[in-house]
Structure 1
């Protein structure tokens, strides 16, 4: 006798939809558990390695350094150069994002409006690159930025950022960068040294830190000047309060 429950019947389709939904739901729950768990772990434990480091064709050199052993001039420099509203936003700078969207609408060269928090979330948990995966990454970046802002807080975000950001070819973190470029630790960076590292951060593979010229030199000088404003106006207060 032929079964009345064929694969195309409403009841069969309902069963398939239920199983599909069950697996999707389970995947979402696991993702939430793992992402929150990793974020909680990295609140206290140094980030051992990132996907960017693993996939770097130049290898990687890093040296985890507590924020207490990184000169405050470096913090001022990255805030001046990368995210002046770091202490006042909750992970996203709406004005910077809108300006980036306006620039990108009239230019073939894409520019981002990412905050230090967003960059940290991407560097620690996600991947680099462009293409269609960039849109998936951006969605995940929002989630991880929300997590680190609410679980880590500003000081920990800054500490992790300064340890995982790429500062040169195969070089990660400001300690490794300071040793590479200046032959001394990040604990005693001058304002101009910190500014030059910060100036290279958006494109560390292309911008020279030791003997900068052109845009990198001018940008570094501008960051050094703005770093004084960061300190005088306590724009880095959330890191040291």
Structure 2
């Protein structure tokens, strides 16, 4: 007779947003480490089951599970960690160098202006390119506000000073902010797909130099047509309101172009 598979019931988070801040910080540290293969999967598993170093009994139980069940079978229960990084909840408990607690932005950056979002995204692209955590410190200064004072308006001239005040924030916390920003950016781009459409190049265009990608900051400047007062006004628009209008403008422009072509 074929032996029955042993059934093991363990509760672990089933989505990124279900992770506790502690799990998120530990997971971020692992994801940005040099771990790979089975070592990476084991580290992720131990974080998700929330084993702490002094919990020897719980530690022993999970080590026994790892010895009895193939890791690749266990990995099916947390595959989303690697395939669907849709974290949109930013961690709490971020303190600056003076120990002052800061509160995070809303889920999926719902309370950011388009200027704040555009700057944070540009800085994050720079971080992903060279892995300099100073960019993450600046992002933290943009996204987080002192507890009890409400969201502060973005002041680009004060940003270097504000980012310096986050220089002692542990790297795993900065990495967690990075993961949340990536997930929130993906959520925004998925919601406004027409605004982020990527054209598939034709065979003729493949041999031509690629045009540089237009940043959101450049889009904002183009929309103002050199009008400084209009620029300041647009910069303070909520990111979701801006993206909805931007997407509608793209749709309208395409429809008008099609009508013009058909009229000829």
Q: Same fold (TM over 0.5)?
A: no
Q: What is the TM-score when the length of structure 1 is the normalising length?
A: 0.30
Q: What is the TM-score when the length of structure 2 is the normalising length?
A: 0.28
Q: Which has the higher contact order (CA 8 A, sep 6+)?
A: 1
